[in-house]
Amino acid sequence: MATTTTTPMAFSGRPSVNWTLTFQRVITLVVILLLWQFALMSGLLPKITPGVPDIVTSIFTVVTMGNFWVGFGYTLFAALAGWLLSCAIGVVLGLLIGTVRPLDRSAALIVEFGRAFPTIALMPVMMLVLGATTNMKITMVVLAAVWPVLVQSILGSRRLDPGIVSTATVFQIPKGLWFRKVLLPSALPFIATGVRISASIAILAAVGVEVLTQVPGLGRLITLAQEAERWDNALAYLFFAGIFGWLVASLLGRAEGRLLRWNRQSDD
């Protein structure tokens, strides 16, 4: 899972509705859907591809089906659990690596290797060790989603100002308090970016593992729908996976805007 290092983006603290932007986004969506439908009718897409109206109908029928919600729940649980674990592990490890000099040097190679490693390739091993279980799914999610948080936490902890360090030293701030109230907040703008990227990866990884291993969840439903040649349903499931990812990302963006108000101001 290759991850890029991104500097924290500024999010507006107070949500204000930008009508022009909303309009533009709707237009883009409509254009894409029209292109899809047009491509299908002109024979550019294979015959079995469902049309836009079919998918829309499917989206509404799928919602009424119990097995969709069960599958969605399974995926959600694994993604959420894996993501939370990734955040906890990534932040603690990252801040330690970033501040303890010898650890930083010795861990650099592993971190570079890990973030570039195709996690999916580990799945056969994980299947052997843990079996086709929820635990295996969560482990896979962590293996995929921990890297952005880890890398961003390391970068964030290096950003700590020497002036702040001197201040904390002179005023004899104890280690634990220093970690929570000095290092962590200082690194938080970077960590937030990692956490956001990691959330999308978590959902992606959970669905991916389900598709490949047939562990219950949205991914398995997608495979089953494909096998039954219900492409409309398969796409409806994908739609929900996407919507969920978007929802999580925008919620995190909101939280970030509120929590990191100080960061944008002090950079002025």
Partner 1 sequence: MSNTESVPGGTLTRVSEDSLLRVTDLSLGYGEGADEKRIIENLSLTVGNGEFVSIVGPSGVGKTTLLKGLSGLLKPKAGQVVVGGGALEGPHRDVAVVFQDYSRSLMPWMTTRENIAFPLQGRGQKKPLRNKAADEALDAVGLGGQGNKYPWEMSGGMQQRVAIARALAYNAKVLLMDEPFASVDAQTRFDLEDLVIDLREKLGVTIMLVTHDVDEAIYLADRVIVIAEKPATVVDVIETGFGTHRDQVATKADPRFQDARGRILTRLRK
262: contact with partner 1 by CB under 8 A: yes
CB of 168 to partner 1, least distance (A): 8
20: contact with partner 1 by CB under 8 A: no
Burial of 26 (0-12, 13-18, 19+ CB in 10 A): exposed
The token pair at 196 is 């956001």
Alpha-carbon distance 255 to 50, whole Å?
Answer: 38
* 84, 173, 204, 212: which one binds partner 1 (CB under 8 A): 173
The token pair at 160 is 């700590």
Cβ atoms 186, 156 nearer than 8 A: yes
166: contact with partner 1 by CB under 8 A: yes
Query: Interface with partner 1 by CB under 8 A: which range of 34-42, 102-110, 144-152, 180-188?
Result: 180-188
Alpha helices in 131-183 (DSSP H): 134-158, 162-170, 175-178
CB of 47 to partner 1, least distance (A): 58
Quick note: the x/- pattern for partner 1 over 123-162, rule CB under 8 A, is: --------------------------------------xx
13: contact with partner 1 by CB under 8 A: no
Cβ atoms 231, 127 nearer than 8 A: no
- Count of alpha carbons within 13 angstroms of residue 167, beta-carbon side: 9
CB of 118 to partner 1, least distance (A): 37
* 18, 169, 214, 250: which one binds partner 1 (CB under 8 A): 169
The DSSP H or E segment spanning 78 is helix 66-99
Query: Interface with partner 1 by CB under 8 A: which range of 17-25, 110-118, 168-176, 195-203?
Result: 168-176
Cβ atoms 217, 207 nearer than 8 A: yes
Indicate the length of the chain as a whole number: 268
14: contact with partner 1 by CB under 8 A: no
Query: Interface with partner 1 by CB under 8 A: which range of 85-93, 135-143, 166-174, 210-218?
Result: 166-174
Looking at the Cβ atoms of 31 and 164, the one nearer to partner 1 is 164
9's CB contacts (< 8 A; 6+ apart) are 193
186: contact with partner 1 by CB under 8 A: yes
Considering only residues 218-247, where is the footprint of partner 1 by CB under 8 A? none
What number of chain residues touch partner 1 (CB under 8 A)? 24
CB of 14 to partner 1, least distance (A): 16
Transcribe 83-130 into DSSP letters.
HHHHHHHHHHHHHHHHH-HHHHHHHHHHHHHHHHS-GGGGHHHHHHHH
* 22, 67, 167, 214: which one binds partner 1 (CB under 8 A): 167
- Chain centroid to Cα 213, Å, comes to 21
Q: Site residues (CB under 8 A) for partner 1?
A: 161-164, 166-167, 169-174, 177, 181-182, 185-186, 188, 261-263, 265-266, 268
